[in-house]
Each structure stands twice: as structure tokens, then as C-alpha cells.
């Protein structure tokens, strides 16, 4: 398919290093064309190691609408003194040759994103965010290959984008490539495995693996009709229903177990419900409705 937004890549020099001699050209002159963010850092600065990569990520996602210049204060002490940098990380934003904004210390990713958006005057979604939304819609429509193609474009621009990584793994699960999905997820760094999108993909993988062992739904239903307290059959029936994408019916079976005996098998039904919620995501309509039903049942 055609690239969604150009080639989904920022200009090669969107992030660069400079020094006292190059500051005028790399910052003052360059900011006449696009805003330039200056990051004063040092190798020994702990917060700099967190802020720097997050700032680079936000700048690259802007697709060239803003640039970033890094200045090592240990090697450029005179320049740092001229700009009255007293502690690091210190960040300045330049437009038309003049400093217009800035902050000191590490910020959460959401505030970094807002900082960049203020400079570009862009209050709407970034190109990558637009692509992620299109991928999500494709996945919801059942077009896993289209979704994976878009997620792949995002990862070429932003290799550490957790939403795209999780979405790609979800696509593998949807296409039945469970071994490949397992290898992909298990091979991620621990920090990436903790991301919500990756956890959602892992939950979807676990459900798909369970579905491979699902019994016959009709036989399981017959067992339940003979003995409504056959909770093992209800658990297996929920798995079988999920394999058929009969999500609401699968939830009903788990909630019925909880209604009858919430402690059965060390709360297995509740734990399975939470796995479903993780796989579907917190904003899914059935997740929201089922959480409400579960809370009502547990706290009534």
C-alpha cells in the first residue's frame, strides 16, 4: 500500500548535536525556518537520560515541523553560562532567532508532547497518531493485514512506539501466527513488555492459545444443563465462545460462575475476565459494560 503520510520519516538532521561555535547556525539561523528545541545535558546527568530520548521521540513524531539540538554542557560551559543554565536538563525553544519557551528538569511524556505542539501550533493529532488511529480502525474492521502494514510504517518512523508494537503482535494473533507473536512479545525489553498495548497483545495471545484447546460448545452446554454448578464446563464454554468471537456470551459464563461462587478455583473466573479486559482494552464498549457488571456483583 502507499505510505500514509509521506514516507513516515523525519528529516535526517531533525535531531543533531552542536557546540558553541555552531550554535548560531544550528539554532539562531535554523529557527528562522522552523522552531528549534535546545537540550542542555551532560553524560553524568540521570534525568537527562530520561528526558533526552523522550524529547527526541516527540520531535521525530512531528515529522520535521520542529528540530532538536543537543548541547553537552561539560564541553560548552561558556555557552551554558551565556544562557544562564544553572541546572540540567534544561530545555529552550527558539523561534525566529529568539528563545520563546523552555523548562528545567525531566517532564512526563504527555507534557513533552504538549511542549512540542505549542511550538508547532499543532493542537491536532500528529501524523503518527493519525496512522495509529487508521490502524486501529482497520483492526476493528477485521483487516489484520492492513492494520499490520500501517503499524509497520509507524515503526519505521518510531521503532519504540509501544502502540504499534502491541498492534503488530495483535495482528499476528488475529492471523493465527501464535508462535511468531509469542516470540515477538517474549523478545521485547522488560520496560516495553510493561506497556499497556503490549500487555493487551499478550492477553490476546493467551486467549488465542487457550482457544486451541477449547472443547465443543454444544457438548459443554449440555454438561451445564445437566449440572449448572459445573464451573469447569462454564470456563471451557467461555473459552469456546471466545474462539467463535461470541464475546458477550463468553463474559456471561464467567460472570455466572462469579455470581454462584466467586472464590471457585482461586477466583479463576474473575482472573479470566481480567484477561479478556486486557485483551480488548479499557475503552472497548464490552470491557466497560462488563466491568460495571462485575463491580456490581462483587460489591453488592
For 288, residues 6+ apart whose C-beta sits below 8 A from its C-beta are: 282
Q: Would you call 180 a catalytic residue per the annotation?
A: no
292 has catalytic annotation: no
Residue closest to 27 by CA, chosen among 119, 93, 114:
93
Identify the active-site residue in 10, 37, 38, 48: 48
Contacts of 92 (CB under 8 A, 6+ apart): 37, 38, 40, 83, 99, 101, 102
Order of strands, edge to edge, in the sheet holding 67-72?
Answer: 15-17, 67-72, 36-41, 90-95, 98-104
By CB atoms closer than 10 A (0-12, 13-18, 19+), residue 220 is buried
Distance between CA 71 and CA 293 in Å, rounded?
Answer: 54
Q: How far apart are CA 60 and CA 156, in angstroms?
A: 11
Options 10, 38, 45, 71, the catalytic residue: 45
Please list the active-site residues. Answer: 45, 48
Amino acid at each position: 500500500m502507499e505510505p500514509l503520510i509521506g514516507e513516515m520519516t523525519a528529516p535526517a538532521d531533525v535531531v543533531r548535536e552542536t557546540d558553541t561555535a555552531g550554535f548560531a547556525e544550528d539554532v539562531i539561523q535554523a529557527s528562522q525556518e522552523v522552531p528549534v528545541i535546545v537540550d542542555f545535558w551532560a553524560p553524568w546527568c540521570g534525568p537527562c537520560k530520561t528526558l533526552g530520548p523522550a524529547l527526541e521521540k516527540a520531535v521525530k513524531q512531528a515529522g520535521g515541523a520542529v528540530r532538536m539540538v543537543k548541547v553537552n554542557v561539560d564541553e560548552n560551559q561558556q555557552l551554558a553560562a551565556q544562557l544562564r543554565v544553572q541546572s540540567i536538563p534544561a530545555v529552550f525553544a527558539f523561534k525566529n532567532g529568539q528563545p520563546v519557551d523552555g523548562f528545567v528538569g525531566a517532564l512526563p511524556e504527555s507534557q513533552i508532547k504538549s511542549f512540542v505542539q505549542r511550538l508547532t501550533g499543532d493542537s491536532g493529532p500528529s501524523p503518527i497518531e493519525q496512522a495509529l488511529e487508521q490502524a486501529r480502525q482497520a483492526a476493528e474492521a477485521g483487516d489484520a493485514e492492513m492494520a499490520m502494514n500501517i503499524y509497520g510504517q509507524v515503526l519505521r518512523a518510531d521503532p519504540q512506539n509501544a502502540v504499534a508494537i502491541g498492534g503488530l503482535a495483535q495482528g499476528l494473533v488475529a492471523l493465527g501466527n501464535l508462535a511468531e507473536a509469542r516470540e515477538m512479545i517474549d523478545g521485547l525489553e522488560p520496560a516495553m513488555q510493561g506497556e499497556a498495548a503490549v500487555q493487551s497483545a499478550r492477553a490476546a495471545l493467551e486467549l488465542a492459545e487457550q482457544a486451541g484447546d477449547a472443547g465443543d460448545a454444544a457438548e459443554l452446554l449440555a454438561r451445564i444443563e445437566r449440572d449448572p454448578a459445573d464451573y469447569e464446563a462454564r470456563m471451557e464454554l467461555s473459552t469456546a465462545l471466545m474462539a467463535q468471537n461470541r464475546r458477550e456470551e463468553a463474559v456471561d459464563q464467567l460472570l455466572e460462575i462469579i455470581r454462584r461462587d466467586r472464590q471457585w478455583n482461586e477466583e479463576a473466573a474473575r482472573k479470566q475476565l481480567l484477561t479478556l479486559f486486557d485483551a480488548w482494552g479499557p475503552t472497548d464498549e464490552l470491557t466497560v459494560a462488563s466491568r460495571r457488571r462485575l463491580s456490581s456483583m462483587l460489591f453488592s
